[in-house]
Structure 1
């Protein structure tokens, strides 16, 4: 795969194991949902490692001492509907995070994203925004979502995806070179004629919600 300065591809046996479980067509809806959430949490440790912090004085059981707390706002923004599956995993790490929502669907003929909903927190533009979408296929929806977020005044944006095609990474990094992208797995092949990754988990939304 081509190297990109702002793309982090995870290399960990536990993450690889869970990605394989997602791609197995025999994985149940319940297991798929749980595994997506687990992967989001594992990826969150890396994505959140540059959070701003400050020192505070606390009273421990034995003595008072100085310790560290996070000192910035976080907004998690799933791209509907599949992105919803990654939210709880990240909230388990940062329960006070705000959650926005962006609704985009892909035109099956043009493969271009169409916006139908956008609701973002109004008072944390100085904080970090974590955009989540399990599959980065064409990259069109993720790129469009990031554009919408930038128009609302947010500047510190990251994207978390579980599986990405090379063309999807190329699209997002070309359109938004300032956005850091975190990916659990990159496929060897690009997309089929229907715009899907052949060696992946299919439609993440359908598998998360048991609608197909």
Structure 2
């Protein structure tokens, strides 16, 4: 399938084996958590090796938003502790459009004459386990852009081709998207097929809520 040039699909054999296991409906919650962590770790290593160059001097702060199951793995890779900032977004069920319900980016709405971006980090890493329609990921990218971030790396376990295109086109000159796997099909309800199910439900056993 054809994807934008700023979308990178992992071909790591260990990652592909773990993704296959994650797709199985029989995989229990405890293993889902472990698989998400391992996939995030491998994907993060690939993305950061390709996207970052180590330099001497002060270390910048990097915000990490959403995807709680992926945060620990990415923090393990980074050389120093970084702040974790949360962007709470959900899809409105009827329209499938993103709705923001929480945002703890420092001073993300500036009332000073200096405008937005004064307190923003130069690099943001967004961890989003599933990119389906791409709406919430695109909204997160737009929010970080408005905050003043200069570069964004998005890490996702699995994405729909349609959704990852939408996210990639939001800010193509400053965003790199790294995914473990891409599914061609998106259902009318905005779910990936075959997908991995609702990652939040599988991690926290809230299936059927």
Instruction: Give the TM-score, by structure 2 length.
Output: 0.86
Alignment of 1:33 with 2:24, yes or no, is no
Aligned pairs for 1:38-187 (under 5 A) are: 38-49=38-49, 50-55=51-56, 71-78=59-66, 83-94=67-78, 95-121=80-106, 125-178=120-173, 179-187=175-183
How many residues were matched structurally?
Answer: 194
Question: Which structure: larger Rg?
Answer: 1
Q: Is the 8 A contact 1:157 1:180 kept in 2?
A: yes
Instruction: Give the TM-score, by structure 1 length.
Output: 0.85
Work out which of the residue numbers 182, 203, 208 in structure 1 matches 2:203: 208
Q: Is the 8 A contact 2:141 2:170 kept in 1?
A: no
For residues 181 and 73 of structure 1, the distance between their equivalents in structure 2, rounded to whole angstroms, comes to 20
Q: Deviations over 1:18-38 (max 9, x none)?
A: 111111111111100111011
SS at 2:193 equivalent? coil
Deviation at 1:124, TM superposition (A): 6.2
Unaligned runs of 5+ in 1: 56-68
Q: Is the 8 A contact 2:3 2:165 kept in 1?
A: no
Unaligned runs of 5+ in 2: 108-117
For residues 164 and 33 of structure 1, the distance between their equivalents in structure 2, rounded to whole angstroms, comes to 18
